[in-house]
Amino acid sequence: MKKRIFITIICVGFSIILASWGWRGHEIISNNISLSFFDQMAQFSSWPSYLADHASDADDRKATDPTEAPKHYIDIDNYNEFLTNHRIPQTLDSVIAIHGSSFVYNEGILPWATLATYDSLKNAFIRSDLNKAMFHAADLGHYVADGHMPLHITKNYDGQYSGNDGIHSRYESTMISGYYSQIIYTGDTVKIIPDVNQYVFDYIYNNNKYVDSVMLADNYAYGQSSNYYSTTYKAALWSKTKNFTILMFKNGSHALAELIYNAWVEAGSPDISTLGIADHNQGRDGLQTSPNPFGVSTKISFTLKERSEDVNLSVYDSYGRQVSVLFEGGSEAGTHDIMWIPGHIADGIYYLVLKNGSQDEFQKMVFIE
């Protein structure tokens, strides 16, 4: 329970702790996705400023949404599989089957929250829902940035196991606030991602290796000055960490650009201009959930372009078993909202399926009790 207790404390009074790169760092990572844009991504030119403005929205939700905090970290080195093979089971269902939901959620679900948000972004593109696409892209940017901050992917997140207590905020916020103007880099070529699950886990595995480097840098800086707020300490910490810190900022921005591009391509590369959105919405039903992942409840919205006498909205588990029928029968055209309170179901992945005549749509959901 140590992480949950810690998070409760920071939500009340010290929100800067465990906020990944701090608001400034998140802003930089989201804004700099444009460095990797190419001609085909020109229609996304207005996105970086929006994503930067909303880069910390996910952090803000921690204060009101008890299911939000575990999405921002994973204590991956508490998994024996990681210690022996440098990898863990990479689907939420498989890791829960091995370790149990209490262990998994207590250790954090960052990679699976990232993947769920990616799916939500892709589905928003499929619906040509620009507002929701940008909302999910902003959250995706936050989770991707968390995955490129080594102290969000280790049990030693605040140096409590190595004598570096308090390093989390000193590194991610105090240091970055003083040296963010030196975080300068260029973009990189954006490519199609053949396996999004592996892509996300690969950068988490890779960035975990910098945990020890941060602790060693803190030891060095403390040797230069025991005053953590002194210019000498901060300069020494930056001198020892700047090379890999700038690299992680660059990789985080590039990964976000690549994931957004990939989601757009997988959705059929829809035109996201205003006219294109209207055209793509012609004759298309819509399905979305918020929040996702969720805990006690989630609001489900489905949109019908015309009246239908044969609508079925149901929830299925990962084995294809029907869990709940949320709506069945005739419905008028328009958007309809349903608040789903699942009750006693197991943590994990569920599928919301909307059937309207011969047309089926689905949305992946992650339930966290």
Q: For the chain, what are the domain ranges?
A: 2-266, 283-367
Say how many residues make up the chain. 369
Nearest to 72 by CA among 122, 109, 115: 109
pLDDT of residue 281: 35
Q: Closest Cα partner for 355 from 332, 325, 321, 318?
A: 325
DSSP β-bridge partners for residue 166: none
- What class, spelled out in words, does domain 2-266 have in CATH? mainly alpha
Distance CA 24, CA 33 (A): 15
Share of the chain above pLDDT 70, in %: 89
CA gap 1, 4 in Å, rounded: 5
**What is the spatial distance between Cα 334 and Cα 305, in angstroms, rounded to a whole number?**
6
| Beta pairing class for 359-367 and 286-290 | unpaired
Type of residue at 68: E
**Hey, what are 178's tokens?**
């003083």
Quickly tell me which residue has 């829809």 as its tokens. 270
Residues 74-121: pLDDT tens digits?
999 999 999 999 999 999 999 999 999 999 999 999 999 999 999 999
Same fold, 2-266 and 283-367: no
Contact 259, 120 (CB under 8 A): no
- Class of 283-367 in CATH: mainly beta
Q: What is the pLDDT of residues 224-272, one digit of tens each?
A: 999 999 999 999 999 999 999 999 999 999 999 999 999 999 999 998 8
Among 102, 96, 76, smallest CA distance to 317 is for 96
Q: Which residue carries 């844009």 as its tokens?
A: 37
Helix axis angle for 231-266 and 130-147, nearest 10°, is: 140
Residue 334 vs residues 5, 145, 303, 339: alpha-carbon distances, Å:
43, 37, 5, 17
Residue 266's pLDDT is: 97
Contacts of residue 269, defined as CB under 8 A and 6 or more positions apart, other chains included, come to none
Position 302 scores a pLDDT of: 86
Which residue in this structure is represented by tokens 């952090």?
59
- Alpha carbons 29 and 27: distance in angstroms, whole number: 6
Q: Measure Cα distances from 168 to 14, 79, 105, 171, 173 in Å.
A: 12, 21, 21, 6, 8
Q: Residue 297: what pLDDT?
A: 87
> How high is the pLDDT of residue 293?
81
Which residue is listed with tokens 């404390």? Answer: 9
